[in-house]
Amino acid sequence: MDALLNKLKTNWEVALFWAMLVALLGTLLVWLLAGDTPESTLSKGSGTNRQSLLGDNAFAFLDPATIPDLPSNPFSFGYKAEQKRPWRMPTNTTRPVATPATKPTPNVAPTPVPTPAANPTPPTPAVPKAARVLTYRGYMQTASGQMVAFMTVTDPIAKKTRMEQLSIGRKIDGIEIKDFTPDSLEVVGPKGDSRRIPKGGRKKIELE
């Protein structure tokens, strides 16, 4: 023991250096781990606590890990457990979205729909009058020696044609055979009008 004391007396500068170094390291370690407390303040009045230089969550990784809530259904796919990292400061990533201003809609008067014009009633077609078309073919003498006119009679409404052989004084559909020659035929209609038809020619005679 005397030898140790004698050695400390001889090298007191080295001993003092190591003692101050140990005290400084201890004070720095206490400062980093706990920071200031009300009991360590110089004055007993109201003091302000100092925050640690490394932050409040510097040693949060030493805390026991929390088990995330897993779904009760073991066959659910696509589940991702929420990762909680308390040592990271939350960041606000929400940005306000600017709403575009809506332009007022101008009041446009509706376009009037034109009313279609009524279709005019077509005129009632006139009913054609009954008539006959005579075509003179010539004349001939029968076996009895009688002279007869040979002609074609056409009904324009029914569109029917027939051949007739008539002597003088005979009538067909109200038309009387008045006279005939090798070149022409003369007839009188129901209205009393006289018509002469050349050979090979035709005339329309109204019956009404």
pLDDT in tens, 52-79: 656 666 666 666 666 666 666 666 555 5
Task: Compute the distance between CA of residue 13 and CA of residue 39 in angstroms, rounded to an integer.
Answer: 34
> Is 144 within the bounds of a domain?
yes
pLDDT in tens, 100-121: 777 777 777 777 777 777 777 8
pLDDT in tens, 191-201: 888 999 999 99
> Is 192 within the bounds of a domain?
yes
Q: How many residues does the chain have?
A: 208
> Is 174 within the bounds of a domain?
yes
| pLDDT computed for residue 76 by the predictor | 56
Q: Please determine, for residue 42, whether its predicted confidence score (pLDDT) is greater than 50.
A: no
> Is 19 within the bounds of a domain?
yes
> Is 9 within the bounds of a domain?
yes
Domain of 165 in residue numbering reads as 131-206
Contact (Cβ atoms closer than 8 angstroms) between residue 180 and residue 168: yes
Q: Which helix (H) or strand (E) holds 32?
A: helix 12-33
149: which DSSP letter? E
Q: What is the mean pLDDT of residues 15-42?
A: 74
**Which pTM was predicted?**
0.40
Task: Compute the distance between CA of residue 140 and CA of residue 185 in angstroms, rounded to an integer.
Answer: 13
For residue 185, give the nearest of 137, 129, 128 by alpha carbon.
137
Over the chain, what is the mean pLDDT? Answer: 76
Q: Please determine, for residue 8, whether its predicted confidence score (pLDDT) is greater than 70.
A: no
- The rounded radius of gyration (Å) of the Cα atoms in the chain is 69
Domain total in the chain: 2
> Is 91 within the bounds of a domain?
no
> Is 87 within the bounds of a domain?
no
Contact (Cβ atoms closer than 8 angstroms) between residue 168 and residue 151: no
For the ranges 36-45, 133-142, 158-167, 192-201, the lowest mean pLDDT is seen at 36-45
| pLDDT band, residue 161 (cuts 50/70/90) | very high
pLDDT in tens, 120-134: 787 887 788 889 999
The residues pairing with 175 across neighbouring beta strands, listed in sequence order, are 172
> Is 137 within the bounds of a domain?
yes
CATH number at residue 146: 2.30.30
Task: Compute the distance between CA of residue 38 and CA of residue 45 in angstroms, rounded to an integer.
Answer: 9
| pLDDT band, residue 91 (cuts 50/70/90) | low
